[in-house]
Amino acid sequence: MSKEAIMQVRMDSTLKSDAEELFKRMGTSFAEAIRIFAKQSVEFGTMPFPIRAKTNNKRGLGIAKGKLSLPDDFDDYDSEIENMFYRG
């Protein structure tokens, strides 16, 4: 029998509440959703979904604090980029 580990995560209380409501409507818990996320990540060796930044007009990379901009047609390359990183 494997040992269980406890993980603590800090997040905005509104985000936590919204996520709990969402997963409850989906018939699961926030904790189970996190376990599903971890299992899928390990199984496929990548994030189990595309990571996208919600921005207003000008698109920028968060890690570069807006110093690097992306072209307006960047989303046209989503499938190419996904193929580079997804090992499914």
pLDDT tens digits along 63-76:
455 566 666 776 67
Determine the pLDDT at residue 53.
72
pLDDT tens digits along 22-31:
999 999 999 9
Domain ranges (residues) in the chain: 1-49, 53-88
Are 82 and 50 in contact, with CB atoms under 8 Å apart? Answer: yes
CA-CA distance, 80 to 83, in Å (whole number)? 5
Determine the pLDDT at residue 50.
84
